[in-house]
Amino acid sequence: MTSPVVGNSLTPRAARLAAELETWGRRTITLAELWTLYARADPASATRPTRRADLAAAVTALAAAGVVTASKTLDRTVAPPLPARLTLPPPTTSVSAAALARSVPWRPELAWAATARLTVGQVSLLQTVNTWLRDRGRDTDVIPVRERSLELFGYEKTVDTLRGTTLFAAGRLTLTLLRTFRAHPPLPVRRVGDGPILLVVENADTFDTLRKALNTTTHAVGHIAWGAGAAFEASVLSVGELPDVHDIAYFGDLDADGLRIPASAALTVASEHLPAVRPAHGLYRLLIEHGIPQPGQPPIDEQRATDLAGWLDDTAARPAQALLTGGSRIPQEAVSAKLLTSVTGDWLADLS
């Protein structure tokens, strides 16, 4: 079994567990809860016969580093014994993190770590990056973020978690420094014509309905895509791979998420110099005219509702705002195949 402390640092396993513990919402952790955290910190341990001994060694190291205090009550049902409960120090206590950070010979890229306000778990994770920067030599490969995360920390989602912390910022950790990138998911697309418009539809059933409807009408839509809900916030970057798309029209539910998703995607494409994401005006007008509001949603305050509805044009924004503040929604499925066969082609006005 590897010693949990190497020189002045924790082993990667103990460091990952420290990071999990430091994000725990309470100061006390039962043994059952500790096993859950350990499974996230070291998923490869699930089939390892030394799993309990490895956890015991990590807990001992973390207690020595001041990250936790172990209870004197032990679970002795299986050897080695494990504490029945761990206690985290108060949030204002920095324990030995500062001393640990000062003792590390940091690479120039991580020199800021010596004086930053960090936790023991953060210092240990940064030491892993420090070693990787030192040892990678002439390796210039740039690989997807979850592959890099698995390589560095033994868990594919660690970098995703770190990106939401103070460790990631200009002058600190960046994807560029880690020689990685966020691979955007593919956008499911079907060609329906030769026009310059990409019509993105939030939900699968309405995607199918509109795809069939477009096959029987004249329009300027070249492609129709299934946005897959919130996935579109990332998959919108795949638009750059589609030929001859100069206009992105979006149609989704009239609810908080249905309006937040395209607004967020619009900001993403703007930063990447892709075609703008705008509402499919005719389809939203059809939805408002024929859809039946469904109550039961959490009411949204007026300012937030105004911000969300502001992505729509004035005609649709007012009723959308009223829906949000009144705790109601209209699902886009109200624009059904039956409805499309019974109305005029006005819904195609901005798609032609």
Q: Domain containing 219 — which CATH number?
A: 3.40.1360.10
Q: Which residues pair with 28 in a beta bridge?
A: 87
Percent pLDDT > 70 in the chain is 96
Q: How far apart are CA 102 and CA 34, in angstroms?
A: 29
Judgement on whether residues 118 and 215 belong to the same structural domain of the protein: no
Mean residue pLDDT of the chain comes to 89
Is pLDDT above 70 for 92?
A: no
Closest to 120 (Cα-Cα) out of 155, 88, 85: 88
In this predicted structure, what is the pLDDT of residue 332? 95
Res. 242: pLDDT tops 80: yes
The answer, yes or no, to whether residue 194 has pLDDT greater than 50, is yes
pLDDT at site 7: 43
Q: What is the pLDDT of residue 64?
A: 84
Distance between CA atoms of residues 211 and 166, nearest Å: 45
Nearest to 19 by CA among 65, 51, 82: 65
Q: Cα(46)–Cα(38) distance, rounded to whole angstroms? A: 10
Is the per-residue pLDDT at 6 higher than 80? Answer: no
Is 92 a member of any domain? Answer: no
Which pLDDT value is given to residue 303?
A: 95
Contact 296, 327 (CB under 8 A): yes
Other CB atoms within 10 Å distance of the CB of residue 94 = 15
For residues 80 and 109, state if they share a domain.
no
Structure confidence by residue, pLDDT tens digits, 172-192: 999 999 999 988 888 999 999
Give backbone dihedrals phi and psi of 190, rounded to 5 degrees, phi first: -125, 140
The answer to whether position 153 is within a domain reads: yes
34 and 60: one domain? yes
Domain that holds residue 42: 5-87
User: What pLDDT, in 10s, does the model give residues 298-339?
Assistant: 999 999 999 999 999 999 999 999 999 999 999 999 999 999
Q: Are residues 335 and 211 in the same domain?
A: yes
Quote the CA–CA distance of 195 and 181 in Å, as a whole number: 32
